[in-house]
Structures are given as structure tokens and as C-alpha cells.
Amino acid sequence: KPSVKRAGDKAEIRFTVKAACDVTVAIEKKDGTILRHLACGLLGPNAPKPFAPNALKQALIWDGKDDYGAYVDDWTGLRVRVSLGLGAAYEKDLATNGDGSRS
């Protein structure tokens, strides 16, 4: 389970995985709405920032801001979601002519 330690208007999020995998970390409201997409990527030698490369133990700092850069005043009911082992799947085309055909 991830652990969260708050220090003023920032929070440190720590978690450990068993093996290198895809990871997504988000701050969400009580109703499940994502407030901040904090980090996403594949752990391992080429892990993207803010993840530490070649490390199964990770520590991320949340600056207390939402996705739009505004500070979150009320932290009541917020939670950290760490998702592991995600995979991409085709859902739908976004660029169509309105009738389903591509240009």
C-alpha cells in the first residue's frame, strides 16, 4: 500500500512494487474524480521523471496543486491512487468526419 506524509502544502507519496511495471499515480477526490494526474510511466532503467530509474521503491512529491496549477485548499477526503500493470487498449477513433469515416 502507498503511504502519504504531509508537510505543509506538499505531500510525499511512497510505494514499492515487486517488479518493473507500468505505474500511474493520481490524487483523487472522495467521489473518484481525478484532481491531479501526478505521474505515469514504465518503471525500470528508462523510467520517466518523477520516478526514480532502476528502483522498485519510489517516492514522489505532490506540490498540493491540481492539474490546472491551482493550490488545493481543502484536502479533506482526498486519496492517492497508485495503479500498477496497466495496458493500452483501443477504444475508439477521435478523428472522424462525424459519420464514422476517416479523412
Coil, strand, or helix at residue 33? coil
Sheet strands (E) in the chain: 3-7, 10-16, 22-28, 34-42, 57-62, 79-84
Q: Could you give phi then psi for residue 15, rounded to 5 degrees? A: -160, 160
- Distance from C-alpha of 73 to C-alpha of 63, rounded to nearest angstrom: 12
Q: pTM of the prediction?
A: 0.78
Give 1-38 pLDDT, tens digit per residue. Answer: 889 999 988 999 999 999 999 999 999 999 999 999 99
- Distance from C-alpha of 50 to C-alpha of 33, rounded to nearest angstrom: 22
Give 35-83 pLDDT, tens digit per residue. Answer: 999 999 999 999 999 999 999 999 999 999 999 999 999 999 999 999 9
Q: If pLDDT is split at 50, 70 and 90, which confidence band does 100 have?
A: low
